[in-house]
A and B are shown apart, each in its own frame.
Chain A
Amino acid sequence: MTEKSRDIAREIKQFQDKIAELKAAIAEMMVGQRQVIEGVIICLLADGQVLLEGVPGLGKTMLVRTLAEALDCKFSRVQFTPDMMPSDIIGTNMIVEDEKGNKHFEFQRGPVFTNILLADEINRATPKTQAALLEAMQEKSVTVGTHTYKLEAPFFVLATQNPLEMEGTYPLPEAQLDRFLFKLNVPFPSKDELHEIMRRTTSTDHPSVRRVMNRDDILKLRALVREVPIAEHVADYALRLVLGTHPELENPNKMVKQYLRFGSSPRGAQAIIMAAKIRALMEGRFNVANEDIRFAAMHALRHRCILNFEGEAEGVKTDDILAELIKSTKVQSP
């Protein structure tokens, strides 16, 4: 055991303070949606991407815009449409004439070259355009022709999709869905929250968002969360949950066996552990607890489990299956 002068408790405290400050800044603009805000922050700190799903008008775009403003980062917003091309996102080579009149190709950067990218209604773009985001989301780089451009850290994609208007949309393929750390369902606000929204948006008040964090702060916090220790039996619990989503393995849960076609990929386990660490820190704890795993599991696995025909036909939600799985999986290892 190495004795250093490092004060972990203080670092945790600072982390908590920063997150509290960020939450407060967002809350100045956003009413309610605490779980969604927490999930978005967790994805930001875990260096992952987030997919927000909800009906129009729930403040998805506003949340992202507010977050970008509070973080003092570059922000781009892309409204996806069916006629959008990949070059519209990543950029293109253009012929440029210099002062001497010589013409040459110059790469014109697209909106992807930013810190926070809002991909609004991502499921309206064609798969080709959706795929253009794949490399950027996973590798944090963009390749045009033979040249690869590194994206500036932090690079955080927030995609939104509307579950209602499915006509003329292109559902995201499994490979692309797997790139999202969390899929967060944006719920309809409660009556009180709705009342507050009405009050804020229909008066003369125009609140502005404070900048509470910059790029460096984000990177520091990202480094810190990776240090949070996790005990073997807690990690084992997370793995058992991930394995439990596979209907083909031994003794699957009844619902899993009946309604799931495919279970989560290993990325699901990584996402759970990372998210659980961040949540533990946010709660001011030194270690990851089982409840952190349970919290993360729901958001990290819901888009990674693919329903079978029976599940689709009966309108079963993956959330129900996961809730049942979490309930039936014992905390203590057998």
Chain B
Amino acid sequence: MQLVKNKIDAIIYKAAWRIRLNRLSHYSMLALSMALVLAALGVLLHRAEIWPWSFYQTLLSAIAPLVLLAYAAFSRVSKLGIAQSIDSSQNLHEQLSSAYTFLQKSELNDWETAQVKHCATQVDAIDLAAAIPLTKPKYCGFGAVALLLFLTAIFTPLPSYSDIEIEQLVTVIHENIPEVKYRTNIDAGTAKLREEQIAELVRIAELSGDDEQIQAARELETLIKEDQENKVSPEEFAKRLKELTERFARTPALPPESQEKFDEHLREAAKSTPELQTEPETQELAEALKENDYDKAAKVLEDLLKQMEDGSLSSEKLQKLAKAFESLAEKLDPTDPQLKEAIKRNKSLLDTLNKKLESGAKLSQKEQKNLKDAEQKAKEMQEAESEAKNTAEGKALEKLQEAFNQSAQDMKNQAQAQEQGQEQEGQKQEQGQEQEAQKQGQEGQEGQKQGQEGQKQGQEGQKQGQEGQNQGQEGQKQGQEGQNQGQEGQNQGQEGQKQGQDGQKQGQDGQKQGQEGQEGQDQSQSGANDAYEEVKSKANDRTAQENAKELEKLAKKIQEDAKRSEGDEQSSDAQQNERERAVEDFMKRAKGQEQGQEQSQNQPPDAQSGKDQGQGEGQGSEQATAAMPSSGENPGVGHSEGEGEETSLDANLQQSHVQGMKGDGPKSTSEIIEIVGQTGFANVEYRDVYQSYEEAAEEALEKDKVPQGYRHYIERYFDYIRPQN
């Protein structure tokens, strides 16, 4: 039995090798083809200087073919499958495969033994060469193509382009790139409106001095401009708008914690500055600062500024204000006062020790230690001071401090200028007395003429400043007096002329001094203006966050505009189609009615000219109505049965007359002017009423059921009529 088994196993083993050989030849060809393709690719890349060729890369490209070959050589071959193949090819009726299966059992019955033995007798007759012939490799076609590809890759000359040719090519490509024009994401009217709104918010942002917010707002402005120039795709528009919205959402002027510290510091400074309580204006300022009401503080400073511009503040008051401002500025120092005191003390100690050291005296060990400690402490304190100043609130406070200091200095200057102006006035009064004495000698027309010149010069002085004006008035006065007295004698008039010239000269001097005074006043006003602007900017800092929110809100509105614009565009086609359908439907119905009427007219005469004509007409209209539902495709069918029932005509005709009344109608321009003449123009500013109207409209939008589409138009209407600066 073992012999039988060996015999069967041997034939299957031989067949397995034949199958392996076949498989190896097929896969070798495939592997070779793959290797050639990869090599061709590598050569191409190498020649195009894209991929440098190396040994390892060669090895890498050989991996795939090697894997294939290994698979062909060592992959499992099913022996049962081989037996089945032999059965099939040799027409053995599953004898070999059955025998192989039975032989795998541990014990065979009589039938199985008989079957296996019988099969063994058949084995010798099996022609393996016919059962499993060695075939020529598959994929020969693929191999040939791969070889051709490889040879092509090696021998095909690569095209060479000079730099100039490449440049020309690039130019041609660039010239031929079609210009892309996108549709606008928001309509032109809305864009204009948004631009104006953004400009206003940019202005507020500039006042707050928040560079990042300004930049973001300007970017938003640019985005809308680019969109109107069809340069932005809808995707890019949405992306950039989203980024800007996020930036607005995260750009507060001061971080909340810094804002709190800033507010607290300012409150403390206002409380600890008694000088602010001396004047009513500064009292008000102190109260505003204590409450952190920067708008109110800005208002107080604005009033002060106006007063300074008017020159209505006395030098004494200016001095007091300057002192109060200086004191406040000192309290605004972001450095801790204790730290400041400690720095002072430490500096004093250091100076003492250094002087001692410079004088050649020897320092005791304790003193040396103190010196070192003092130096170390000085360094630490300086760092702490610098750190305090470097915080956001520290910087803001420092800026405010500088502004108040400058303001105080300017006030002092103005006060000084005023004092100088008063001295000049005194001098002028003295000169005026002398002139009075001389004027008594003036006579005749010349004196009058000279007096007029003096008056003229005085008027010029008046124009050039308060002081000059005063002097001019004096001159005029003197001139008038001279004119009155001039008639007394011509000799005295010559002297008067001379003195008038002197007066002119003095007037010029007064004018000059007046200019100086005015410059001083201007300087002081500019300093005060700085303080006002700085406080206002702090007020704006508070509102900068609101401004950022406004900008964010605006950016979101623009997003909605863009969405709506897109929706409008899509719906416009649908609306157009709907319109066309409606027109077509109408035409069909009209046609049907027409046909119906025609039909009624074509009825037999007896139907039309029956006992009464009313019946004929009645049928006509009835047919027309019946034809309508079929969209006019089929003409209406008229009644042609002859005479119908008699139509009753006992309807009473009642004539009615409606008395019309002439309405007011729109008013003409002349009527408006007439009404204005009677009642006067509106005395409330548009800017003031706008706010209340807008609020009322918003309230109505909230409460009432307004369709979403109309809601937008109402909002946009109010946006359009918003008062601009």
Contacts of B73-103 to chain A: CB distance below 8 A:
80-81, 84, 88, 93-95, 97-99, 101-102
Q: Indicate if the CB atoms of A290 and B111 lie closer than 8 Å.
A: no
| Chain A residue nearest to B113 in the complex (CB) | A1
Contacts of B103-125 to chain A: CB distance below 8 A:
107-115, 118-119
Q: Indicate if the CB atoms of B101 and A231 lie closer than 8 Å.
A: yes
| Chain A residue nearest to B107 in the complex (CB) | A1
Q: Indicate if the CB atoms of A6 and B110 lie closer than 8 Å.
A: yes
Q: Secondary structure at chain A's binding surface: helix, strand, loop or mixed?
A: loop
Interfacial chain A residues near B81, Cβ < 8 Å: 332
Cβ of B1 under 8 Å from chain A: yes
Cβ of A227 under 8 Å from chain B: yes
Q: Indicate if the CB atoms of B1 and A286 lie closer than 8 Å.
A: no
B371 to chain A, nearest CB (A): 96
| Chain A residue nearest to B88 in the complex (CB) | A331
Residues 312-334 of A, flagged 1 when their CB comes within 8 A of B and 0 if not, give 00000000000000000001100
Q: Indicate if the CB atoms of B115 and A229 lie closer than 8 Å.
A: yes
Interfacial chain B residues near A3, Cβ < 8 Å: 113
B91 to chain A, nearest CB (A): 10
Q: In the complex, A58 Cα to B514 Cα: how many Å?
A: 146
B128 to chain A, nearest CB (A): 19
A224 to chain B, nearest CB (A): 10
Q: Indicate if the CB atoms of A228 and B98 lie closer than 8 Å.
A: no
Residues 142-182 of A, flagged 1 when their CB comes within 8 A of B and 0 if not, give 00000000000000000000000000000000000000000
Cβ of A288 under 8 Å from chain B: yes
Interfacial chain A residues near B99, Cβ < 8 Å: 287
Interfacial chain B residues near A249, Cβ < 8 Å: none
Cβ of A2 under 8 Å from chain B: yes
Answer whether A233 and B84 are a contact pair too, CB < 8 Å, given A1-B107, A6-B110: yes
Interface size class of B (residues with CB under 8 A): 20 to 34
Q: In the complex, A291 Cα to B99 Cα: how many Å?
A: 17
Interfacial chain A residues near B95, Cβ < 8 Å: 285-287, 289
Q: Indicate if the CB atoms of B110 and A286 lie closer than 8 Å.
A: no
Interfacial chain B residues near A331, Cβ < 8 Å: 84, 88
Contacts of A231-258 to chain B: CB distance below 8 A:
231-234
Q: In the complex, A286 Cα to B1 Cα: how many Å?
A: 17
Q: Indicate if the CB atoms of B110 and A234 lie closer than 8 Å.
A: no
Answer whether A229 and B112 are a contact pair too, CB < 8 Å, given A1-B1, A331-B84, A332-B81: yes
Answer whether A8 and B110 are a contact pair too, CB < 8 Å, given A231-B101, A232-B101, A331-B88: yes
Interfacial chain B residues near A219, Cβ < 8 Å: none
Q: In the complex, A331 Cα to B85 Cα: how many Å?
A: 10
Contacts of A1-39 to chain B: CB distance below 8 A:
1-4, 6, 8-9
Q: Indicate if the CB atoms of A8 and B108 lie closer than 8 Å.
A: no
Q: Indicate if the CB atoms of B111 and A231 lie closer than 8 Å.
A: no
Q: Indicate if the CB atoms of B94 and A290 lie closer than 8 Å.
A: yes
**Which of B88, B94, B101, B111 is the one whose CB lies under 8 Å from A227?**
B111
Q: Indicate if the CB atoms of B115 and A286 lie closer than 8 Å.
A: yes
Interface size class of A (residues with CB under 8 A): 20 to 34
Interfacial chain A residues near B110, Cβ < 8 Å: 2, 4, 6, 8, 227
Q: In the complex, A6 Cα to B118 Cα: how many Å?
A: 14
**Which of A229, A232, A290 is the one whose CB lies under 8 Å from B109?**
A229
Interfacial chain A residues near B111, Cβ < 8 Å: 8, 227-229, 286
Scoring B1, B94, B108 by chain A CB atoms within 10 A of each residue's CB, the highest score goes to B94
Q: In the complex, A289 Cα to B91 Cα: how many Å?
A: 10
Q: Indicate if the CB atoms of A231 and B114 lie closer than 8 Å.
A: no
Interfacial chain B residues near A288, Cβ < 8 Å: 94, 98
Q: In the complex, A183 Cα to B616 Cα: how many Å?
A: 81
Q: Indicate if the CB atoms of B101 and A233 lie closer than 8 Å.
A: yes
Q: Indicate if the CB atoms of A291 and B93 lie closer than 8 Å.
A: yes
Interfacial chain B residues near A283, Cβ < 8 Å: 93
Interfacial chain B residues near A286, Cβ < 8 Å: 95, 111, 114-115, 118-119
Q: Indicate if the CB atoms of B98 and A234 lie closer than 8 Å.
A: yes
Interfacial chain A residues near B109, Cβ < 8 Å: 2, 227, 229
Q: In the complex, A30 Cα to B196 Cα: how many Å?
A: 111
**Which of A6, A233, A285 is the one whose CB lies under 8 Å from B93?**
A285
Interfacial chain A residues near B93, Cβ < 8 Å: 283, 285, 287, 289-291
Q: Indicate if the CB atoms of A9 and B118 lie closer than 8 Å.
A: yes
Q: In the complex, A12 Cα to B99 Cα: how many Å?
A: 18
A219 to chain B, nearest CB (A): 19
Q: Indicate if the CB atoms of B84 and A332 lie closer than 8 Å.
A: yes
| Chain A residue nearest to B81 in the complex (CB) | A332
Interfacial chain B residues near A285, Cβ < 8 Å: 93, 95
B522 to chain A, nearest CB (A): 98
Contacts of B41-92 to chain A: CB distance below 8 A:
80-81, 84, 88
Interfacial chain B residues near A233, Cβ < 8 Å: 80, 84, 94, 97, 101
Interfacial chain A residues near B108, Cβ < 8 Å: 1
Interfacial chain B residues near A4, Cβ < 8 Å: 110
Scoring B81, B109, B114 by chain A CB atoms within 10 A of each residue's CB, the highest score goes to B114
A289 to chain B, nearest CB (A): 4
| Chain A residue nearest to B85 in the complex (CB) | A332
Q: In the complex, A4 Cα to B113 Cα: how many Å?
A: 10
A190 to chain B, nearest CB (A): 28
A276 to chain B, nearest CB (A): 11
A99 to chain B, nearest CB (A): 57
A71 to chain B, nearest CB (A): 26
**Which of B1, B80, B98, B107 is the one whose CB lies under 8 Å from A287?**
B98
Interfacial chain B residues near A6, Cβ < 8 Å: 110
B98 to chain A, nearest CB (A): 4
Answer whether A231 and B1 are a contact pair too, CB < 8 Å, given A9-B118, A286-B115, A287-B115: no
Q: In the complex, A6 Cα to B111 Cα: how many Å?
A: 9
Interfacial chain B residues near A234, Cβ < 8 Å: 94, 97-98
Q: Indicate if the CB atoms of A229 and B102 lie closer than 8 Å.
A: yes
**Which of B80, B84, B97, B98 is the one whose CB lies under 8 Å from A229?**
B98
Q: Indicate if the CB atoms of A287 and B113 lie closer than 8 Å.
A: no
A68 to chain B, nearest CB (A): 31
Q: In the complex, A233 Cα to B119 Cα: how many Å?
A: 17
**Which of A9, A228, A289 is the one whose CB lies under 8 Å from B94?**
A289
Q: Indicate if the CB atoms of B97 and A231 lie closer than 8 Å.
A: yes
Q: In the complex, A1 Cα to B4 Cα: how many Å?
A: 13
Interfacial chain B residues near A228, Cβ < 8 Å: 111
- 17 further interface pairs, Cβ-Cβ under 8 Å (given A8-B110, A227-B110, A230-B98): A1-B107, A2-B109, A3-B113, A228-B111, A229-B102, A229-B112, A231-B97, A231-B98, A233-B94, A233-B97, A233-B101, A234-B98, A285-B93, A287-B95, A289-B94, A290-B94, A291-B93
22 CB < 8 A contacts A-B: A1-B108, A2-B109, A4-B110, A8-B114, A9-B114, A9-B118, A228-B111, A229-B115, A230-B98, A231-B94, A231-B102, A233-B84, A234-B97, A286-B111, A286-B119, A288-B98, A289-B94, A290-B94, A291-B93, A331-B84, A332-B81, A332-B84
Q: List B residues at the A interface (Cβ < 8 Å).
A: 1, 80-81, 84, 88, 93-95, 97-99, 101-102, 107-115, 118-119
Q: Which 8 A-B pairs have CB atoms at the shortest separation, nearest pair first?
A: A289-B93, A286-B115, A8-B114, A231-B98, A231-B101, A287-B98, A289-B94, A1-B108
